[in-house]
Amino acid sequence: MSLSRPLLFTPFKMRGVVAPNRAVVSPMVQYRATDGLVNDYHMVHLGKFALGKFGIVFTENCAIEPRGRVTQGDLGLWDDSQIESHRRLTRFLKQEGSLAATQITHSGRKGSTPRSFDKPGELGPKEAGWQRWQVVGPSELSAGEPYAPAPKQLAAAEIEEIVKKFGEAARRADAAGYDVIEIHGAHGYLLAQFLSPISNTRNDQYGGDRAGRMRFPLAAAKAVRTNWPEHKPMFIRVSAVDGAGGWDVEDTIAYARELKAIGIDVVDTSSGGLTGLSTALPVKRSLGFQVPFAAAVKRGADIPTMAVGLILDGPQAEEILQSGDADLIAIGRQALFDPFWALHAAQELGCDADFDMWTPEYGWWLEKRKNNLPK
Ligand SMILES: Cc1cc2nc3c(=O)[nH]c(=O)nc-3n(C[C@H](O)[C@H](O)[C@H](O)COP(=O)(O)O)c2cc1C
């Protein structure tokens, strides 16, 4: 192994927990759950990223209540009976050396949707009997196509119930053995719906000015922090800009300062998603297009950030870390393309020529094979 260690492959300490490296599998919903339970599909889908030596492996978004699912096939942490299935997953991820991480969510007005690849008019797998449910939101405004159903406006008492459910989901995530928890506060789901004046037209204490619109998301973050062990880190995913012109980077920085005061450790900086089409992103979707948001939040709120979005290879990831724009690198679709992304990135960066980072059941053979390959 070479002596130089790229930042991507140095450990990252968060409270009492250490990620062995800074490569993270981004949360990616798979629509494969029944009743929110982890099954064999999730074990294989996520297990291969642990064999691929990502430092942190995130599950997809897990709903805190059934109506907070995006689709009927999402994972859940809304009931104690779901804990055991998650425990099986966290055991495996940790056994292979990754931190086990989960993302908790409420979809709000963007719930009850078809899978992304369903044909118009279809809702999930035909044989599974998926049904629509009444979605909820800060106001009665729909997110627009393809999120057609109009939400029911949440009453203040119902918002307080949802805050409690965020806390209960955090307690279950801890019982299930997760090392890291992330609140999904981005992509136009319920928390983001409250932040933006475009979706939140309330005139009670949960609406109005920015402080009012932040009240519910901050209360949810507090509830999670209270129910999540002190020594375990907590992330939040934000849309730095909502994609519809109602919430911008300056708002996100102010929000991140409040989140830091509550005890959030890392801001996972994404963007967009408030409305169906989300056409108002100020940047083109090009390589690393959301990195400037991670940098702005990191510098503006003095808080660690995770960069995500079209980060494709080791040198690109390393450059982001070296420039100080972010502390962690989340890989989404490129991890679907290459579940061994982290190991390949280590080779690209010249720090694992001998396959030492690989599980020895693979690495020993691959190292020996080197001599048999054409020069
Ligand atoms: C199949 C798929 C499912 C996704 N599900 C989630 C999710 O559950 N929660 C979330 O915050 N983002 C979700 N995302 C967004 C990704 O986490 C990531 O932010 C996005 O794909 C951009 O990163 P990439 O260019 O590396 O893919 C999903 C993306 C994909 C491709």
Report pLDDT digits (tens) over 104-120.
999 999 999 999 999 88
Percent of the chain whose pLDDT exceeds 70 = 97
Q: Which band of pLDDT confidence, cut at 50, 70 and 90, is reported for residue 1?
A: very low
Q: How many whole angstroms from 249 Cα to the centroid of ligand 1?
A: 20
Q: Which band of pLDDT confidence, cut at 50, 70 and 90, is reported for residue 277?
A: low
Ligand 1 lined by 69 (C-beta under 6 Å):
no
Ligand 1 lined by 188 (C-beta under 6 Å):
no
Buried b (16+ CB within 10 A) or exposed e, 336-364: eebbbbbbebbbbbebbeebebbeeeebe
Q: Is the pLDDT of residue 321 over 80?
A: yes
DSSP H helical ranges for the chain: 40-51, 83-95, 156-175, 190-195, 210-227, 249-262, 291-301, 314-322, 333-337, 341-348, 360-369
Q: Is 206 a catalytic residue?
A: no
Segment 189-216, tens digit of pLDDT: 999 999 999 999 999 999 999 999 999 9
In a domain, 255, yes or no: yes
**From atom 23 of ligand 1, which residue's Cα is the shortest distance away?**
309
In a domain, 44, yes or no: yes
- The answer to whether residues 192 and 243 touch, using CB atoms and an 8 Å cutoff, is no
What confidence score (pLDDT) does residue 221 get? 99
Catalytic residue among 178, 189, 206, 255: 189
In a domain, 151, yes or no: yes
Segment 73-115, tens digit of pLDDT: 999 999 999 999 999 999 999 999 999 999 999 999 999 999 9
Task: Name the nearest CA neighbour of 220 among 256, 259, 273.
Answer: 259
Joined together, the tokens standing for residue 240 give: 């730095």
Ligand 1 lined by 103 (C-beta under 6 Å):
yes
Segment 149-194, tens digit of pLDDT: 789 999 999 999 999 999 999 999 999 999 999 999 999 999 999 9
Q: How many whole angstroms from 270 Cα to the centroid of ligand 1?
A: 9
**From atom 16 of ligand 1, which residue's Cα is the shortest distance away?**
332
Q: Is the pLDDT of residue 148 over 70?
A: no
Ligand 1 lined by 316 (C-beta under 6 Å):
no
- The answer, as to whether pTM is greater than 0.95, is yes
In a domain, 294, yes or no: yes
In a domain, 209, yes or no: yes
Ligand 1 lined by 113 (C-beta under 6 Å):
no
- 34 CB contacts (<8 Å, ≥6 apart)? 73, 128
**From atom 18 of ligand 1, which residue's Cα is the shortest distance away?**
332
Q: Which band of pLDDT confidence, cut at 50, 70 and 90, is reported for residue 128?
A: confident
Count of CB atoms situated within 10 Å of the CB of 84:
12
Joined together, the tokens standing for residue 114 give: 């078809």
User: What integer is the mean pLDDT of 55-67?
Assistant: 98
Q: Is the pLDDT of residue 129 over 60?
A: yes
Q: Which DSSP helix (H) or strand (E) runs through 17?
A: strand 17-19
**Domains contained in the chain, number:** 1
Q: How many whole angstroms from 197 Cα to the centroid of ligand 1?
A: 25
Q: What is the CATH number of the domain that holds 158?
A: 3.20.20.70
Percent of the chain whose pLDDT exceeds 90 = 90
In a domain, 1, yes or no: no
Q: Which DSSP helix (H) or strand (E) runs through 239?
A: strand 234-239
User: What integer is the mean pLDDT of 266-294?
Assistant: 84
Query: Please, what is the average pLDDT of the chain?
Result: 95
Task: State the closest ligand 1 atom to the C-alpha of 312, by its place in the atom list counted from 1.
Answer: 26
Q: Which domain holds residue 294?
A: 7-372
